Amino acid sequence: MDDTAGRGARAGHEVLAAVLQIRSGRLSVLLWRRARPPFEGAWVLPGGRLGGDEGLGESIRRQLAQKVDVRDLAHLEQLETRGAPDRCPGGRTLATAYLGLVPAHIEPVVPADTAWHPASDLPSMGYDHAAIVHSGRRRLRAKLSYTNIGFALAPPEFTMSELSGYYRAALGHDVAATNLRRVLLRRGQIEETGRSVPSGRSGGRPAALCRFRAPRLEVTDACAVLRPPGAARPDQRPPC
C-alpha cells in the first residue's frame, strides 16, 4: 500500500529576490521574462530552486550572480515565505523571498531577457511575484523611517538634494532636503565629508557632500515614521 496517499507530494522550495534600485528618479525592480510554461512570456522575479546543500542566503546570492549577473548588492535580507498550495502550477512549491538593494551609482550588466521596471507600474507578472514586489516596497519604506537603510540606495557620497530624490522615489512622496538633512544628522545616520560640488550655471553656494556613517544596517530610531508633507502628526510617539 502506498503510505503517501492522502498526504500529498513533498513540497519543493525556491528562493526569489525583489532587487530594487533607484533609476532615473524611480524605484525600479529587476525582472526577467519566462521563456517556457507556465506563465510563458510573463515577467517574474529572479531566483530558482534551493540547492540540496545550500543555505537560503547562499542560494539567492548564487542565483542572482549566475542568472541575472547581479553581484553588487549593498543590502540583502529575508522578506517573507509563501506557501499557498496553488501558488505554483504543477506541484506545491514553497518560496522564500528576499529584498535586495543596489546603490544608484551601480549599473549591473544584465542579460537580454532581463530588465528594470518601475515598481509602481509593474508589467503582467507570473505566479505571486507582483505581491512579493509590493511586500518589498513596503519593507523598504518602513525601514527608511527607523533605520539607516538609505545607505543601500545612495552612492558613497551625495548631496542632500540627491539623497532627498532617492528617498522621494522610495517613499512615494515629497521629501524636503533641508528637513531630511536635519533628521538624519540628529539620528547620527549621515555626516558631511568636508567636500562640496561646484555650483551650477545659476550660481549659489556649492553643495556639501555627505555620506552615511555606517555602510551596514542599523536601527537608529525604533519609533520613527517619515510622513508625507501635511500628514497629521499624533499627539505622542507610538509605543516601541
Q: Which residue has the cell 555602510?
A: 215
Residue with the bigger pLDDT between 226 and 85: it is 85
Instruction: Give CA–CA dist 203/73, Å, rounded.
Output: 36
| Cα dihedral 209/152/149/114 (nearest 10) | 140
- State how far the Cα of 76 lies from the Cα of 54, in Å rounded to an integer: 17
Count CB neighbours of 225 within 10 A.
14
The residue with greater pLDDT, 204 or 147, is: 147
Which letter does DSSP use for residue 219 in this model? Answer: B
Per-residue model confidence (pLDDT) at position 207: 92
Residue 32, phi then psi, degrees to nearest 5: -125, 150
Q: How far apart are CA 7 and CA 4, in angstroms?
A: 5
CA distance 167 to 140: 10
144-164 pLDDT per residue, tens: 999 999 999 999 999 999 999
Mean predicted confidence (pLDDT) in 90-94: 91
Residue 44 is predicted with a pLDDT of 98
Q: Give the pLDDT band of residue 199 (cuts 50, 70, 90).
A: confident
Report whether 162 contacts 154 (CB < 8 A): yes
> For residue 52, what is its C-alpha cell?
540540496
Q: Look at residue 200 in the predicted model and tell me its pLDDT.
A: 66
Query: What does pLDDT average to over the chain?
Result: 90
Q: Is the pLDDT reported for residue 80 higher than 90?
A: yes
Domains of the chain: 12-136 (3.90.79.10), 145-212 (1.10.10.10)
Q: How far apart are CA 24 and CA 161, in angstroms?
A: 14
Q: pLDDT tens-digit profile of 208-221? A: 999 999 999 999 98
**Tens of pLDDT along 171-183?**
999 999 999 999 9
Whole-angstrom distance, CA of residue 137 vs CA of residue 170 = 8
| DSSP H helical ranges for 149-208 | 160-171, 177-186
Region 75-80: what's the mean pLDDT?
98
CA distance 222 to 135: 20
Residue 196 pLDDT grade (very low, low, confident, very high; cuts 50, 70, 90): very high
Distance CA 198, CA 117 (A): 33
| DSSP, res 151 | G
How confident is the model at residue 223, as a pLDDT? 80
What pLDDT is stored for residue 239 in this prediction? 43
pLDDT at residue 118 greater than cutoff 80 = yes
